[in-house]
Chains A and B, each alone.
Chain A
């Protein structure tokens, strides 16, 4: 995973609450068995006027000029400003993959859905929760100033606005470390393999019914 320690980028505002994972990346693209290539279909139903299917040449489709990501002033944006409950709905990690692949590194919102929030960190994407009034104010500032950028310092847990205002944000220490060091958390867990085995040995005594192997023959009489 690519490490994220500090990021300065252009901000794009997506002004609607409850943006769900079906909107972030529609189902037809989930048929891919790859982890990359989803960026061109980020917000597909909103971004294009014609329907999309996997395998199409998406560069030939008609972009929706009203959708914020298509507006010239937001080209190259890497920070997404969003409203409450961003990423609600399914557990599809294709949603952070699509955002990441498009070039988004930071998402700011008053709240995120739990699974989406968690999935972001597995992919070097930083979701930042700020109070609703602060988010509201950032929406106004972005609208008022073309080329509005924010500077995000993961280590210091701060966002700096073009006006020099410093906004602190919370980040749990484990996620922060994984993000800043680009850590593979499977590797971290496997450092505790002996403890996992000891737990299993104890549980096999206490609750042996939990350890019936499903792959050993057929359970049906």
Chain B
């Protein structure tokens, strides 16, 4: 057999049948469900008189709409409440495991999957959410789907898919201190663009990826979709296996040994050929800050806001101008002169324990700047929150003037009460700086947790390589 990429291996293990037109019926091992993209799918099942094919393959959690404060009082917004209650009812009716809002394990769906061992290496993982690529950090084939496909997976445990092209993003070198997984992926997106990975599945590889923890790899894979790719993943190594060991739903005993033996094969063969290769040396990478309304609009913190007049492509040039108008920024402004009104540390990109530790490190013994109206820390799950509290991180944040919240998607997309007001500027550890994403008229700068925390302390962006905590 010819040399295979990791993608080839993950794909071929899950093909149930190949259709005449070249599409495949792909088996789905794990289906994750949240309240926003599932109600119409369950309604569709009911309408057609269908039942879930394998209820035990599903795991559900409400995360987008849940309040991050005072949740013991329930959800005040009746529309949000109905959506969350609808999920509770659907899971009860169809026999699907759910971690409801007040369960200690509740959290952002992409945080709890790996945390619980519900997503494992070698699995196909889908969810009605584009950031499902996060689970690829474990060496899984994980991608986001729409609601029609949610219904399709519920009903058949399969999806009709066409194989993507394989891309390898190879990151060479060791990044400087203060430069994290978030900066790596923002730099990749800046390089290839938000459509650079369209039609591809991306394998992240190279020394800089190998050196990352699984949590860091999740941050990288999470934003594969911001590079246009539905799926992003990292080959299995000792780091992966150590991470999975002992998780609640991970296999144990003899089954664990068998699983590990198989998981170790989940790497691209040495001479495997990729359709597209991208190489980036990150040895001198600066912490990254987005300046516009697309994640590809990104520069190092030591740079200035770029000038659209220097962009040769007219469509791009107009896009840059529109972004600068929306962001109220002037070309040539140093990034470190940009002041922020709010700071959001959270989201499926950056809300795990290592993210909170990195943020706390910048904050310890300091205060949130007076000019910053609100600084939020929203842990990714109840278990992350508990762990952070055991380490005393919550006290570091609270003493500095941050708010310490309950887990959920929160201000990443502002479906609950956490949001920006029109014109407010935010340093956010989330994944999208689209117009209105964090609230109508709100302005988002995407950064790493340490950069967001430092921005809270200084009231503006600072180069954390120079401003030592």
Contacts and interface: CB of A to CB of B under 8 A. Distances in A.
Q: Do A and B come from one complex?
A: yes
Interface of A: 15-18, 20, 22-23, 26-28, 30-35, 45, 51, 54-55, 83-85, 88-93, 96, 111-115, 118-119, 122-123, 172-174, 184-186, 188-190, 192-193, 195-196, 199-200, 203, 207-216, 219-220
A34 B199 CA distance: 30
Interface in B175-225: 194-195, 198-199, 225
Nearest to A213: B56
B238 to A, nearest CB: 19
Given A23-B436, A214-B59, A195 B17 contact: yes
Given A35-B40, A115-B144, A192 B25 contact: yes
Contacts of B274: none
Given A114-B228, A190-B156, A207-B262, A122 B434 contact: no
9 contacts: A18-B294, A22-B437, A91-B128, A115-B144, A119-B146, A186-B50, A190-B155, A196-B53, A209-B259
A90 B77 CA distance: 23
A195 B225 CA distance: 32
Contacts of A203: 27
B25 A189 contact: yes
A20 B56 contact: no
Contacts of B435: 22-23, 45
Given A85-B194, A114-B198, A214-B97, A93 B116 contact: no
Interface string B1-43: 0000000000000001101010101010100000011011001
B279 interface: no
A174 B146 contact: no
B236 to A, nearest CB: 14
B228 A196 contact: no
Contacts of B97: 214-215
Contacts of A27: 413-415, 437
A186 B79 contact: no
B319 A16 contact: yes
Interface in B152-185: 152, 155-158, 160, 162, 164
Contacts of B80: 31
Contacts of A35: 40, 43, 147
Given A186-B151, A216-B56, 4 more contacts: A35-B40, A92-B37, A114-B229, A196-B16
A112 B194 CA distance: 11
Contacts of A89: 130, 432, 434
Nearest to A28: B415
Contacts of B199: 114
Contacts of B79: 31-32, 54-55
A177 B384 CA distance: 47
Contact of A215 (B96, B156, B228, B434): B96
Nearest to A45: B436
Nearest to B154: A186
Contacts of A174: 19, 21, 23, 160
B413 A196 contact: no
Contacts of A54: 79
Nearest to A135: B315
B122 A207 contact: yes
B228 A85 contact: yes
Contact of A210 (B29, B50, B151): B29
B63 interface: no
Contacts of B16: 192, 195-196, 199
Interface stretch (B248-256, B370-378, B385-393, B448-456): B248-256
